[in-house]
Structure 1
Amino acid sequence: MYPFLLVIHLLAAIAFIGTLFFEVVIWHRARQQLADTAQVTADQAIAVCSRKVLHGVVVLLYGAGISLAWRYREVLSHPLDSRFGTLLSLKILLALSIIGHYLLLAYWLKSARLTTLRASWIRRSILAHMVVIVILAKAMFYWG
């Protein structure tokens, strides 16, 4: 079961990071070439599609991640006793921080406080968190 969960986790992470990379790097630059009305229409269409896709991806990513972490519960009970435990704990903290980002995003959406600047900031921050998580994941198996 572990190898299957590992592949699911990896593929979901690729999908998640790829979507964020598209939104932050590619779409951010491409939208500047469009008229304002076209930007708004395209932004809304991409946001709706992205949310639909990412909800399932996030469930797979976090579900597989929790299942994988369960195997290391003993290591996680003393995270500072090993490099692997410390790196895995940092990875989990960053993943929880991403959940915090999404809760903040939901609050901003619900209270009509989501501005273009805030949306851009939150996407960039989540992407940065994900990049660090990937680096930590690699480090776990090289230095852990």
Structure 2
Amino acid sequence: MSYGVLVGLHLLCGSIFIGIVAFEVLILEGIRPHLPARTMALVEQGIHLRGRKIMPWVVVTLFASGITMAYQHYSNIGWPFDSSFGTLLAVKILLALSVLVHFIIAMKHSICGDMTSKRFKYTHLSVFAHMLAIIFLAKGMYYIQW
């Protein structure tokens, strides 16, 4: 697959993923105090049901395209710590793996029916922070050099 197609898929899936997480952190958490707990639980349940249908495909495509691009980069630049680009990419990959672990654990809790509002909130806050760091690292890989 061409590199341009990989970049396009990666950006599309990354935008969907961070967009959903950003919505949940910035919008959904903001309306929580204004809704009855039962209503908020129903909203979260609806999000879980929809998320279980689309997010696995988004995450698989995001990681598959990212792994393929990382392989191509490391083939060209050498091992992760041979350059600032490689080092920042390695940190980005570690953060992405942490996001993947968060995602798998959240899916498990959602499927088992024990995803509490508190767990929902803190999982999304953590993933949001990870995603912001990943975005800045992705841009920094092309501008930060040592």
Unaligned runs of 5+ residues in structure 1 are none
What are the superposed Cα offsets for residues 10-62 of structure 1, whole Å, 9 maximum, x if unpaired? 11111100000111110111233222322222221122112322112111111
Query: Within 2, Cα distance between the matches of 1:104 and 1:76?
Result: 34
Query: Within 1, Cα distance between the matches of 2:7 and 2:85?
Result: 17
Pairing 1:1-144 to 2, within 5 Å after superposition? 1-74=2-75, 78-106=79-107, 108-109=109-110, 114-144=115-145
Amino acid at match of 2:67: I
User: Would the aligned equivalents of 1:20 and 1:127 in 2 still touch at CA under 8 Å?
Assistant: yes
Alignment RMSD: 2.0
Query: Within 2, Cα distance between the matches of 1:21 and 1:138?
Result: 19
Query: Within 1, Cα distance between the matches of 2:46 and 2:116?
Result: 17
Query: Within 1, Cα distance between the matches of 2:113 and 2:31?
Result: 26
TM-score of the aligned structures, taking structure 1 as reference length = 0.87
- Secondary structure at 1:72 match in 2: helix
Q: How far apart are residue 106 of structure 1 and its match?
A: 4.4
User: Would the aligned equivalents of 1:76 and 1:89 in 2 still touch at CA under 8 Å?
Assistant: no
Query: Within 1, Cα distance between the matches of 2:48 and 2:107?
Result: 13
What are the superposed Cα offsets for residues 58-94 of structure 1, whole Å, 9 maximum, x if unpaired? 1111111111111023367522221000001011111
User: Would the aligned equivalents of 1:88 and 1:136 in 2 still touch at CA under 8 Å?
Assistant: yes
Query: Within 2, Cα distance between the matches of 1:47 and 1:110?
Result: 9
TM-score of the aligned structures, taking structure 2 as reference length = 0.86
Query: Within 2, Cα distance between the matches of 1:102 and 1:76?
Result: 30
| Equivalenced residues, count | 144
Unaligned runs of 5+ residues in structure 2 are none
Query: Within 2, Cα distance between the matches of 1:32 and 1:50?
Result: 23
Q: How far apart are residue 109 of structure 1 and its match?
A: 4.8
